[in-house]
Amino acid sequence: MLEELRQDYARTARGKGLHESAVVLKHCLRNALLPIITLVGIQAGYLLGGAIVIEEVFALPGLGRLLLNAIGQRDYAVTQGVILFIAFNFLVINLLADLAYALVNPRVRTG
Protein backbone atom coordinates (compact mmCIF):
# COMPACT_ATOMS: atom_id res chain seq x y z
CA MET A 1 0.00 0.00 0.00
CA LEU A 2 2.89 2.35 0.74
CA GLU A 3 4.24 1.84 -2.78
CA GLU A 4 0.85 2.63 -4.28
CA LEU A 5 0.55 5.84 -2.25
CA ARG A 6 3.84 7.04 -3.76
CA GLN A 7 2.81 6.39 -7.38
CA ASP A 8 2.26 9.20 -9.86
CA TYR A 9 -1.50 8.63 -10.14
CA ALA A 10 -1.91 9.03 -6.36
CA ARG A 11 0.04 12.28 -6.42
CA THR A 12 -2.04 13.46 -9.36
CA ALA A 13 -5.28 12.64 -7.53
CA ARG A 14 -4.06 14.60 -4.51
CA GLY A 15 -3.07 17.45 -6.81
CA LYS A 16 -6.60 17.54 -8.24
CA GLY A 17 -7.86 18.22 -4.73
CA LEU A 18 -9.29 14.84 -3.74
CA HIS A 19 -9.45 14.00 -0.06
CA GLU A 20 -6.83 11.59 1.23
CA SER A 21 -9.51 8.98 1.99
CA ALA A 22 -10.73 9.11 -1.63
CA VAL A 23 -7.18 8.70 -2.91
CA VAL A 24 -6.56 5.73 -0.63
CA LEU A 25 -9.90 3.95 -1.13
CA LYS A 26 -10.61 4.58 -4.80
CA HIS A 27 -7.17 4.76 -6.35
CA CYS A 28 -4.56 3.01 -4.25
CA LEU A 29 -6.49 0.26 -2.46
CA ARG A 30 -7.71 -1.30 -5.69
CA ASN A 31 -4.20 -1.70 -7.02
CA ALA A 32 -2.84 -2.88 -3.69
CA LEU A 33 -5.52 -5.60 -3.41
CA LEU A 34 -4.41 -7.52 -6.51
CA PRO A 35 -1.54 -9.47 -4.92
CA ILE A 36 -3.60 -10.02 -1.78
CA ILE A 37 -6.44 -11.59 -3.79
CA THR A 38 -3.95 -13.88 -5.50
CA LEU A 39 -2.44 -15.07 -2.24
CA VAL A 40 -5.79 -15.53 -0.52
CA GLY A 41 -7.09 -17.62 -3.43
CA ILE A 42 -4.07 -19.88 -3.48
CA GLN A 43 -3.82 -20.23 0.30
CA ALA A 44 -7.54 -20.99 0.70
CA GLY A 45 -7.14 -23.81 -1.79
CA TYR A 46 -4.14 -25.21 0.05
CA LEU A 47 -6.08 -25.12 3.32
CA LEU A 48 -8.29 -27.86 1.93
CA GLY A 49 -5.26 -30.07 1.37
CA GLY A 50 -3.85 -29.19 4.78
CA ALA A 51 -7.07 -30.33 6.41
CA ILE A 52 -5.94 -33.91 5.82
CA VAL A 53 -2.92 -33.49 8.06
CA ILE A 54 -4.76 -31.47 10.73
CA GLU A 55 -7.61 -33.97 10.96
CA GLU A 56 -5.20 -36.87 11.34
CA VAL A 57 -3.00 -35.17 13.93
CA PHE A 58 -5.89 -33.99 16.12
CA ALA A 59 -8.17 -37.00 15.42
CA LEU A 60 -10.96 -34.85 14.03
CA PRO A 61 -13.66 -36.33 11.80
CA GLY A 62 -13.85 -34.89 8.31
CA LEU A 63 -12.83 -35.31 4.70
CA GLY A 64 -9.15 -35.71 5.50
CA ARG A 65 -9.82 -38.52 7.92
CA LEU A 66 -12.20 -40.12 5.42
CA LEU A 67 -9.52 -39.94 2.74
CA LEU A 68 -6.85 -41.51 4.92
CA ASN A 69 -9.20 -44.29 6.04
CA ALA A 70 -10.17 -44.96 2.42
CA ILE A 71 -6.50 -45.13 1.40
CA GLY A 72 -5.78 -47.53 4.27
CA GLN A 73 -8.69 -49.78 3.30
CA ARG A 74 -7.88 -49.46 -0.44
CA ASP A 75 -11.31 -48.10 -1.21
CA TYR A 76 -10.52 -46.52 -4.56
CA ALA A 77 -13.97 -45.09 -5.23
CA VAL A 78 -14.03 -43.07 -2.00
CA THR A 79 -10.41 -42.01 -2.50
CA GLN A 80 -11.13 -40.74 -6.00
CA GLY A 81 -14.31 -39.01 -4.84
CA VAL A 82 -12.63 -37.13 -2.00
CA ILE A 83 -9.67 -36.11 -4.16
CA LEU A 84 -12.04 -34.96 -6.90
CA PHE A 85 -14.04 -32.96 -4.35
CA ILE A 86 -10.91 -31.24 -2.99
CA ALA A 87 -9.65 -30.49 -6.51
CA PHE A 88 -13.05 -29.10 -7.54
CA ASN A 89 -13.15 -26.82 -4.49
CA PHE A 90 -9.60 -25.67 -5.26
CA LEU A 91 -10.70 -24.73 -8.78
CA VAL A 92 -13.83 -22.94 -7.57
CA ILE A 93 -11.84 -20.90 -5.05
CA ASN A 94 -9.35 -19.87 -7.74
CA LEU A 95 -12.21 -18.99 -10.09
CA LEU A 96 -13.70 -16.76 -7.40
CA ALA A 97 -10.31 -15.11 -6.96
CA ASP A 98 -10.18 -14.43 -10.71
CA LEU A 99 -13.68 -12.97 -10.63
CA ALA A 100 -12.65 -10.77 -7.72
CA TYR A 101 -9.88 -9.43 -9.96
CA ALA A 102 -12.52 -8.12 -12.35
CA LEU A 103 -14.31 -6.34 -9.51
CA VAL A 104 -11.15 -4.72 -8.19
CA ASN A 105 -9.22 -3.96 -11.38
CA PRO A 106 -11.14 -2.28 -14.22
CA ARG A 107 -8.36 -3.10 -16.69
CA VAL A 108 -9.22 -6.80 -16.41
CA ARG A 109 -12.89 -6.33 -17.31
CA THR A 110 -13.93 -7.33 -20.79
CA GLY A 111 -15.97 -5.04 -22.98
Q: Where are the domains of the chain?
A: 2-104
105 vs 96, residue with greater confidence? 96
The shares of helix, strand and coil residues in the chain, as percent rounded to the nearest 5, are: 80, 0, 20
Cβ–Cβ under 8 Å, residues 45 and 93:
yes
Helices 29-57 and 63-72 cross at an angle (nearest 10°) of: 50
Cβ–Cβ under 8 Å, residues 31 and 105:
yes
Give residue 101's pLDDT.
85
Detail the DSSP E strand segments found in the chain: none
pLDDT tens by residue, 23-39: 887 778 888 888 889 89
The predicted model gives 9-29 an average pLDDT of: 83
Tell me the pLDDT of the chain averaged across its residues: 87
Cβ–Cβ under 8 Å, residues 10 and 28:
yes
Give residue 72's pLDDT.
95
The predicted model gives 72-98 an average pLDDT of: 94
88 vs 106, residue with greater confidence? 88
